[in-house]
Amino acid sequence: MLKIKDLDIFYGQAQVAFKTSLAVKEGEFVGIFGRNGAGKTSLFRALMGLRPPAAKGDITFKGRNVQGLPPHEIANLGIGWVPEDRKIFPNLTIRRNLLLGEKAEKHLSKGKRRFKLDDAYRFFPKLHELRDKLGSQLSGGEQQMLTVARTMMGNPDLLLLDEPTEGLAPNITKDVLKMILEIRADFQVTTIVVEQFSEALLQHLDRCCVMEMGECIFDDRPSALQNDEELKRRLLGVG
């Protein structure tokens, strides 16, 4: 579904990713781990066509070269992004935020089950309770739920989750991860998630990568990382 080959990423003259390559099959759940500054978010920004950064290399999605396309065209091809800073509309209600995530039927894949407003409320009951509240009135965890649900309202074929549990309390982190896993199971959406590291997430992944200084230094089965404390310490500083 997604192929990245020899991708270099730049902010001005500063290069933050070097010849990054990654392939993701339809239906896969892939985790990208790495310390702060490893280039994870820059990779997502490059995938979405956002400027900055500037990118050189090949990005192919569903057989089409998307390198250089504007963000709205990439989104309409079927990539949904949950940004780290959430980017909700603070002066709109939860319901209105969700409805703004919908896409025109012509941009949706044929024959796939649709994620609708009722699904957003089913997976995130708190959003239903607060549906008439403004985005600015939500807690951080509630904003994160809203961002995930709003992105799913666009029915993406590929879901990009940028540190979805960053800054959340442990009990909220657990709830958000649970809902993400349930949405994946129910709607079979191909997913790439970026985190510094998540032991709770690792066991659910099909594959995991580790980035360091803009390079992918590990790409293997999650069990290879999960069962090797020394490798986790060396690659991620955890364990």
What is the rounded average pLDDT of the residues 96-106? 95
Euclidean distance between CA atoms 154 and 99, whole angstroms: 9
| Total domain count, the chain | 1
Lookup: tokens for 90: 């603070």
Whether the predicted pLDDT of 143 surpasses 70: yes
Domain extent for 213: 2-236
Reduced to 3 states (helix: H, G, I; strand: E, B; else coil), residue 38 is coil
Residues 208-233 have pLDDT tens digits of 999 998 999 999 999 988 888 888 88
Q: Which of 50, 147, 35, 150 is nearest to 103 (CA)?
A: 150
- For position 157, which CATH number holds? 3.40.50.300
What is the rounded average pLDDT of the residues 171-179? 91
Lookup: tokens for 22: 């990654």
Q: Taking the model in full, what pTM does it have?
A: 0.94
Q: Which of 30, 12, 1 is nearest to 216 (CA)?
A: 30
What is the rounded average pLDDT of the residues 77-95? 95
Euclidean distance between CA atoms 159 and 53, whole angstroms: 20
The burial of 57, by beta-carbon neighbours within 10 Å (0-12 exposed, 13-18 middle, 19 or more buried), is given as middle
User: What burial letters (b/e) apply to 89-102, b meaning 16+ CB within 10 Å?
Assistant: eeeebbbebbeebb
List C-alpha distances in Å: 41 to 35, 50, 54, 96.
11, 11, 13, 27
The answer to whether residues 162 and 144 touch, using CB atoms and an 8 Å cutoff, is: no
